[in-house]
């Protein structure tokens, strides 16, 4: 078969099962786009490469499969970096393919030349500079193998323009890249873990993104019920257990319900499943679960003991580990511990003031959830709205909640929602965002209008960088600086300007009816919700403090 | 060379291609691991190289090794105390 590097690239991507790619073309990627035109793969034209990376992330997070974005050399590549780094921190299988200047010009500071390889070393699982068209036969399957194996993550493939144009003859196409098999379970560590789980009087399961990545939600639930063990989730573990399961405690850490952190404070065994002991989850690490022994299950060996030394560390796919543990762990009612956990939950529940009012933080989250039902996908940006949604949205299934956890990237929500909607066209996608976050990738409203995706943007507008304002209030003596937006755009008018239906709950005397109408209308829409400007997210663990030391709303009410 | 911290020597077998040194040295920089010395030479037919790293033998060494093992281009990581002679020879050469 006579072909070119660019045509071969598309054929290899098709064979990986890729059907949609988000990107923006440019000089050094024009041969790729010429070949893409002839491919069965659909291209989604983003309006900024960061948007393209997050659209791809939305597809990957919603489905669990790898997704692809394209950028050109130079600024195309640098604009992708934030989205790639975000995928690294949250372990998302993303394959970014970038154009590069021709090989002979590399190192000459050519127009739109940047060292994409060098820039992406610290933010990828692995990266490649392709030096010949024939190398693509190895590099592309390998890129997908790396992105999806073990702990997933982003991969960058940088392809010089002359490699894209290079003619070559291919006799045999390689097999598509597939994930490596998970590591075998260590029988001794497994037996030790089972013994600890069976003997614990006050166990808690703490579930993270690894539970969702490995598809372990079903066996997690069965083990929790068998052990009568309460389950808490990290920000990225939300959805692994249904919100209304009697054993589910909600989110742990900086903005947890007080009862959740107190249950962890009292546990004698913490079973960390696909978690990495992030500081927002643990608070002051030395005082996290101070009475507990720790069983830590993760597929990434470097996570075991990185932050917290476990009593037993199990390098494993979480699902495989839990399926091995399930028949061995003893079924226990643990009545005293369950009763204690119930007492704490009843005494220190999550407070959701004004939840009836659709123009309050918790009210808009709860009303949106009630109107959209359990099938909706929910994305968020980063800030107060993200924490309110994480606390209050009734998640029922894995991959329902897509949020930027590790990197905490404002601007994630809208393009990720577009990607999720493209990957799951029969589902509605709600994007909770703030007026600070939305402006960071607002150009993607054009992409949304073009794709006509079913994305409902719920804009919690308080005229501030709310979480910055909150920290300045609580920890910087109320010395506010650079957290207030003095120019306040008319977001509904802006959305309409992009061709997207919009409503402003501040302009109506019947906000609930307006919300119901907007959410019930097919297609894209923006709903602006004016939010009390001084509203804070509570409870809150001050950065660096122990999780038991939570600031409550009452102590700061006027 | 500081002598108050005991030193260990790691022997890495890596794929020999441009960029592999960026991955290894970049890992040390961004994880704030100290590396006292680096030696690198191709071996065999030149498709692989050996990198010898002289590093602090402290509580973080295990984490360093775990992170190195995750690099795609790194095929093997092992302790190689006998390689101290190589560093001593180089020290004589450059001082």
Name the band, by pLDDT with cuts 50, 70 and 90, for residue A50: very high
Structure token pair of residue A553: 């709303």
Residue A298 DSSP SS3: strand
Best residue in B28, B30, B70 for a mutation probing chain A (most A CBs within 10 Å): B70
Helix (H) / strand (E) containing A271:
strand A269-273
Rounded CA-CA distance B77/A393 in Å is 46
Edge to edge, what strands does the sheet with A248-251 contain? A248-251, A231-233, A203-207, A269-273, A293-298, A312-315
Q: Which of A121, A300, A302 sits opposite B22 (nearest CB)?
A: A121
pLDDT tens-digit map of A485-538: 999 999 999 999 999 999 999 999 999 999 999 999 999 999 999 999 999 999
For chain A, percent of residues with pLDDT exceeding 70: 99
pLDDT tens-digit map of A299-320: 999 999 999 999 999 999 999 9
Which residue of chain B is at minimal alpha-carbon distance from A118? B22
The per-residue pLDDT for B34 is: 86
The per-residue pLDDT for A556 is: 45
Q: Are strands A2-4 and A167-169 parallel, antiparallel or unpaired?
A: antiparallel
Contacts of A70 (CB under 8 A, 6+ apart): A21, A22, A23, A24, A25, A29, A32, A33, A36, A43, A52, A96, A97, A98, A99
- The 10 Å Cβ neighbour count of residue B41 is 10
Which residue of chain A is at minimal alpha-carbon distance from B26? A122
How many angstroms separate the Cα of B15 from the Cα of each of A23, A75, A132, B23, B35? 31, 30, 18, 11, 20
Question: b or e along A179-209 (b: 16 or more beta carbons within 10 Å of the residue's beta carbon)?
Answer: beebeebbeebbebbbebbeebebbbbbbbb
Strand-pair partners of A312: A295
- For chain A, what is the radius of gyration of the CA atoms? 24
Q: How many residues does chain B have?
A: 95
Rounded CA-CA distance A481/A465 in Å is 10
pLDDT tens-digit map of A129-147: 999 999 999 999 999 999 9
Cα atoms in the 13 Å half-sphere on the side-chain side of A443: 10
Rounded CA-CA distance A531/A533 in Å is 6
Q: Which of A121, A127, A302 sits opposite B67 (nearest CB)?
A: A302
Rounded CA-CA distance A182/A474 in Å is 45
Q: Which of A118, A121, A301 sits opposite B66 (nearest CB)?
A: A301
* Termini Cα distance of chain B: 12
What is the CATH number assigned to the segment(s) A361-537? 3.40.50.970
Structure token pair of residue A153: 């993550």
Average per-residue pLDDT in chain A?
97
Chain A residue numbers with beta carbons less than 8 Å from the beta carbon of B22 are: 117-118, 121
Hey, what domains does chain B have and what are their CATH numbers?
7-94 (3.30.70.260)
| A253 Rama sector, left if φ>0, alpha if ψ -120 to 50, beta otherwise | left
Residue A265 reports pLDDT greater than 90: yes
A187-347: same fold as A2-169?
Answer: yes
pLDDT tens-digit map of A173-219: 999 999 999 999 999 999 999 999 999 999 999 999 999 999 999 99
For chain A, percent of residues with pLDDT exceeding 90: 99
Q: How many residues does chain A have?
A: 558
Question: b or e along A495-516 (b: 16 or more beta carbons within 10 Å of the residue's beta carbon)?
Answer: beebebbbbbbeeeeebbebbb
Rounded CA-CA distance A514/A521 in Å is 11
Rounded CA-CA distance A271/A313 in Å is 10
Residues in A whose CB is inside 8 Å of some CB of B read 117-118, 121-122, 125-127, 129, 146, 300-302, 304-306
Name the band, by pLDDT with cuts 50, 70 and 90, for residue A554: low
The per-residue pLDDT for A207 is: 98
Per-residue confidence of chain B (95 residues) as pLDDT tens digits? 455 778 999 999 999 988 999 999 999 988 888 899 999 999 999 999 999 999 999 889 999 999 999 999 999 999 999 999 999 999 999 98
The per-residue pLDDT for A555 is: 45
* Mean pLDDT confidence for A439-444: 98
Where do the structural domains in chain A lie, given as residue ranges?
Answer: 2-169, 187-347, 361-537
Name the band, by pLDDT with cuts 50, 70 and 90, for residue A229: very high
pTM of the model: 0.97
Residue A440 reports pLDDT greater than 80: yes
User: Is A55:A46 a contact under the CB 8 Å cutoff?
Assistant: yes
Question: b or e along A75-86 (b: 16 or more beta carbons within 10 Å of the residue's beta carbon)?
Answer: ebbbbbbbbbbb
Residue A125 reports pLDDT greater than 60: yes
Chain A residue numbers with beta carbons less than 8 Å from the beta carbon of B19 are: 117, 121, 127, 129
* Superfamily of segment(s) A2-169: Thiamin diphosphate (ThDP)-binding fold, Pyr/PP domains (3.40.50.970)
* Mean pLDDT confidence for A106-124: 97
How far A149 CA sits from the closest chain B CA (Å)?
11
How far B58 CA sits from the closest chain A CA (Å)?
14
Residues in B whose CB is inside 8 Å of some CB of A read 18-19, 22-23, 26, 30, 62-63, 66-67, 69-73
The per-residue pLDDT for A527 is: 98
Contacts of A197 (CB under 8 A, 6+ apart): A203, A227, A269, A271, A295, A325, A329
CB contact under 8 A, B72 and A126: yes
Chain A residue numbers with beta carbons less than 8 Å from the beta carbon of B23 are: 121
Which residue of chain A is at minimal alpha-carbon distance from B61? A306
The per-residue pLDDT for A220 is: 98
User: Is A316:A183 a contact under the CB 8 Å cutoff?
Assistant: yes
CB contact under 8 A, A300 and B23: no
What is the CATH number assigned to the segment(s) A187-347? 3.40.50.1220
Contacts of A221 (CB under 8 A, 6+ apart): A241, A245
User: Is A243:A396 a contact under the CB 8 Å cutoff?
Assistant: yes
Best residue in A89, A100, A121 for a mutation probing chain B (most B CBs within 10 Å): A121
The per-residue pLDDT for A557 is: 42
The per-residue pLDDT for A553 is: 79
* Closest by Cα among A156, A64, A82, A60 to A407: A82
pLDDT tens-digit map of A324-360: 999 999 999 999 999 999 999 999 999 999 999 999 9
């Amino acid at each position: 078969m006579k072909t070119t590097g660019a045509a071969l690239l598309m054929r290899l991507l098709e064979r990986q099962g890729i059907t949609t790619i988000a990107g923006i073309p440019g000089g050094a990627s024009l041969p790729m786009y010429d070949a893409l035109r002839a491919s069965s793969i659909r291209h989604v034209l983003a309006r900024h490469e960061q948007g393209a990376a997050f659209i791809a992330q939305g597809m990957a997070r919603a489905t669990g499969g790898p997704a692809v974005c394209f950028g050109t050399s130079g600024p195309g590549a640098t604009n992708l970096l934030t989205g790639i780094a975000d995928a690294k921190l949250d372990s998302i299988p993303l394959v970014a393919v970038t154009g590069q200047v021709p090989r002979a010009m590399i190192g000459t500071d050519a127009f739109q030349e940047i060292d994409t390889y060098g820039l992406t070393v610290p933010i990828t699982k692995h990266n490649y500079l392709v030096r010949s068209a024939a190398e693509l036969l190895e590099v592309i399957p390998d890129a997908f193998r790396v992105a999806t194996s073990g702990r997933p993550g982003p991969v960058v493939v940088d392809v010089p323009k002359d490699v894209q144009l290079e003619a070559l003859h291919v006799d045999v196409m390689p097999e598509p890249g597939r994930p490596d098999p998970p590591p075998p379970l260590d029988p001794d560590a497994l037996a030790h873990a089972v013994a600890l789980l069976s003997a614990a009087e006050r166990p808690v399961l703490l579930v993270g993104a690894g539970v969702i990545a490995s598809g372990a939600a079903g066996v997690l639930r069965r083990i929790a019920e068998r052990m009568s063990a309460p389950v808490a989730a990290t920000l990225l573990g939300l959805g692994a257990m249904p919100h209304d399961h009697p054993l589910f405690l909600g989110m742990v850490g900086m903005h947890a319900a007080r009862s959740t952190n107190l249950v962890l404070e009292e546990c004698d065994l913490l079973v960390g499943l696909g978690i990495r002991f992030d500081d927002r989850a643990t608070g002051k690490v030395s005082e996290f679960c101070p009475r507990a022994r720790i069983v830590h299950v993760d597929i990434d060996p470097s996570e075991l003991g990185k932050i917290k030394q476990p009593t037993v560390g199990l390098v494993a796919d979480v699902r495989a580990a839990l399926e091995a543990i399930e028949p061995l762990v003893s079924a226990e009612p643990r009545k005293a511990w369950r009763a204690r956990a119930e007492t704490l939950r009843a005494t220190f529940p999550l407070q959701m003031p004004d939840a009836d009012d659709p123009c309050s933080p918790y009210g808009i989250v709860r009303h949106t959830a009630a109107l959209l039902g359990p099938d909706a996908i929910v994305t968020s940006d980063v800030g107060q709205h993200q924490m309110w949604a994480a606390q209050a949205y009734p998640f029922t299934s894995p991959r329902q909640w897509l949020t930027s956890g590790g990197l905490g990237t404002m601007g994630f929500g809208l393009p990720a929602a577009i990607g999720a909607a493209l990957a799951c066209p029969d589902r509605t996608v709600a994007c909770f965002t703030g007026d600070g976050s939305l402006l960071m990738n607002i150009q993607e409203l054009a992409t949304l209008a073009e794709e006509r995706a079913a994305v409902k943007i719920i804009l919690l507008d308080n005229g501030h960088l709310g979480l910055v304002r909150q920290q300045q209030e609580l920890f910087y003596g109320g010395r506010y600086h650079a957290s207030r937006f003095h120019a306040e755009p008319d977001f509904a008018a802006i959305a309409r300007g992009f061709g997207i239906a919009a409503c402003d709950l501040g302009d109506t005397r019947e906000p609930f009816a307006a919300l119901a109408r907007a959410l019930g209308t097919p297609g894209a829409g923006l709903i602006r919700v004016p939010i009390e400007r001084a509203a804070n997210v509570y409870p809150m663990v001050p950065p660096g403090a122990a999780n038991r030391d939570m600031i409550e709303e009452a102590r700061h009410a006027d | 060379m500081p002598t108050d911290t005991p030193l260990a020597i790691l022997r890495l077998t890596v794929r020999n291609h441009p960029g592999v040194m960026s991955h290894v040295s970049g890992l040390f920089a961004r994880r704030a691991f100290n590396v006292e010395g680096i030696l690198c030479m191709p071996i065999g037919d030149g498709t692989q190289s050996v990198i010898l790293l002289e590093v602090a033998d402290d509580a973080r060494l295990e984490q360093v090794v775990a992170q190195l093992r995750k690099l795609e281009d790194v095929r093997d990581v092992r302790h190689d105390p006998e390689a101290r002679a190589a560093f001593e020879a180089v020290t004589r050469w450059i001082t």
